[in-house]
Structure 1
Amino acid sequence: MAPLRFSANVSWLFPELPGLPERLQAAGRAGFEAAEVAWPYVEPPEALASAARAAGMRLVLINTPRGDQEKGEMGLGAVPERQAAFREGLEQAVLYAKALGCPRYPALPSLDGGAGSTEARSGDTAVGYRLWRQLFVFLLIHLMAGRVPQGADRAAVKGEMETVFLENLRHAAGVLAQENLVGLLEPINTRITDPQYFLDTPQQAAAILQKVGRPNLQLQMDVFHWQIMDGNLTGNIREFLPIVGHVQVAQVPDRGEPGSSGELDFSYLFQLLEDEGYQGFVGCEYRPRGDTVEGLSWLRSYWDRKGRPRTGQ
């Protein structure tokens, strides 16, 4: 069983440092070879790519733009009447993905099962896709669903929002396929973090992915959100891991380091991911309780026990 590969979410880690270039340098010094950035758009793409190369870091994940922050938007994928803005944001995210060192890999396995068929996740296509994902390290794009509009009843607008989301995801899958990129759907808990977020459980996300039926769209598993919404992490990981493209970790309930006290036993969870053959990155998306480097003692301990794989492995 291969050891897990970890990426530093520099939107969360190293908050003591002022900007993304400085945080990338700090992550490299701490032993990371891969990083993720929630919203890289404060930096020009070429400057951020140069900073990542200087730090010896590979960027593996970004989010699509949030939208209009003054209006409280947090993604646009499922938001009615914002389809044009979602597509503009998607184009911006693809531009960044291309600039941030994402090379042109061999083409994705055929997305047809015929086109758009849910059968694209089964049989030879799915097997070929999983092998392709394991062989190559590239940048993923989290396609943010967004929030239920202010004042709207969630149950009343759920059908309309899902229809918008499906339309946008089919468009996104086609755009991403042209660049050999992969999009992710992340459920965000509505009990603590964001009560208005549309996509809040792995079951809901998996059902939407099945309806879209494109193998270059996958599930993003943040165990912090999954534990808060549903618990049953062992069962849910085993059920959904075949369609998971990225994992993120933080302790529950206060989103601290995996080594801090809380509900989750990360020694068990990391072993479960290894046993289930997970090949992607595990993103460190948590709020350090003190100095970031001191708080990485859990990761240094993991590397001492398991070894530290190189980014390209």
Structure 2
Amino acid sequence: MPRFAANLSMMFNEVPFLDRFALARQAGFEAVEFLFPYEHPPESIRERLDGCGLRQVLFNAPPGDWAGGERGTASLPDRQAEFRAGIETALRYAAALGCPRLHVMGGIPGPGQSREAARARYVANLAWAAERCQQEGVLVLIEPINRHDMPGYILGSSDEAAAIVEAIGPERIALQYDLYHTQITEGDLTRRAERLLPIIGHMQLADVPHRHEPGTGEIAWDYVLGRIDAMGYRGWIGCEYRPAGETVAGLGWIERFRA
């Protein structure tokens, strides 16, 4: 049976962030993920995890100036020191939260920047981050993101991601396989997942096209999740979707798979 983790950056937005942990537990989740924890001391988040009996399974490294449109710094020129400092900050949070995985965003190269040079920086920075995180028992993840939602993002396909994983080493870096982004960009969800299974370190879901909960769009979730379970994936699947309405009211889809 698939194991689902609530994404607290998108779900339970009816209450402040630190109150979402309790709502996730009440809704039957045993694990959570979120985008960025850095507005809150790690001790405060750990207190909520422990108090609710939840596991932290994933969060993102600092992305640069998120409000200003940045989506990671790994591919950007003259940002290596900032990137490395961000990884160290993320590792402090990972240690405090007992989190084994860290998603490292690559960034959006600016106009006039060479994509080839940006990719070389991206891979070099990822290699450093993967080695540094491995020292702390944390697995680096990379995620292809569709270019409708994030135009210009440095990593756009699962084949590109697989090549990077192979180059750096699957013992240090893995693929974050997001079914929403993959459906928009590439499709062929289940055969692609089966082919990439050896390098998949985490999955996420949302329906297409509006990024709401399963059952609101075009993906055949009974088939897709059934096949993922049958192929032997035993990791977490993060529910990284924007609820179409109130979060709990939209959770009917999950009961079928829990049963």
TM-score bracket for this pair, using the shorter chain length: over 0.9
CA distance in 1, matches of 2:48, 2:112: 42
Which of 202, 224, 229 pairs up with 2:185?
A: 229
Give the percent of matched residue pairs that are identical in Structure 1 and Structure 2. Answer: 41
Q: Residue in 2 aligned with 1:303?
A: 258
SS in 2 for 1:203: helix
Q: Is the 8 A contact 1:173 1:214 kept in 2?
A: no
Name the structure 2 match of 1:40. 37
**2:239 — aligned with what?**
284
Match for residue 14 of structure 2 among 13, 16, 24:
16
Report how far residue 259 of structure 1 moved.
2.5
Deviation of 1:37 (Å): 1.2
Q: Residues 217-253 of structure 1, C-alpha deviation per residue, up to 9 Å, x if partnerless?
A: 0000111000101112122112111100000000000
Contact kept in structure 2, 1:76 and 1:82, CA below 8 Å:
yes
Q: Which residues in structure 2 correspond to 1:152-191 (within 5 Å)?
A: 152=112, 157-190=114-147
* One-letter amino acid of the structure 2 residue matched with residue 82 of structure 1: R
Deviation per residue, 1:167-198 (Å, 9 max, x gap): 111111211111111010001100x2111211
Asked if 1:61 is matched to 2:58, the reply is: yes
Q: Output one character per residue of 1:47-89: Cα deviation in whole Å (capped at 9) or x when no partner.
A: 1111111121111000011102354211112222211111111
Deviation of the 1:214 alpha carbon: 4.5
Q: What TM-score, normalized to structure 1?
A: 0.80
**Cα displacement string for residues 95-120 of structure 1 (whole angstroms, at most 9, x for unaligned residues):** 000011x2xxxxxxxxxxxxxxxxxx
Which amino acid is the alignment partner of residue 247 of structure 2?
T
Say whether 1:147 aligns with 2:147: no
The one-letter amino acid paired with 1:222 is D
Aligned equivalent of 2:88: 91
Counterpart residue number, 1:117? none
Query: Separation in 2 of the partners of 1:34 and 1:55?
Result: 10
Runs of 4+ in 1 over 3 A off after TM superposition: none
Secondary structure in 1 aligned to 2:238?
strand
* Contact 1:62–1:139, Cα closer than 8 Å, also in 2: no
For the residue of structure 2 that corresponds to 1:162, the secondary structure is: helix
Letter in 1 for 2:96: A
Map of 1:72 onto structure 2: 69
CA distance in 2, matches of 1:9, 1:53: 17
More displaced stretch, 68-77 vs 40-49: 68-77
TM-score, with structure 2 as normaliser: 0.96
Q: Is the 8 A contact 2:46 2:96 kept in 1?
A: yes
1:194 aligns with 2:150: yes
In structure 2, C-alpha distance between the alignment counterparts of 1:216 and 1:277, rounded to whole Å: 21
Which ranges of structure 2 fall in alignment gaps of 5 or more residues?
none
Distance 2:58 2:85 in 1: 19
SS of 1:144's partner is coil
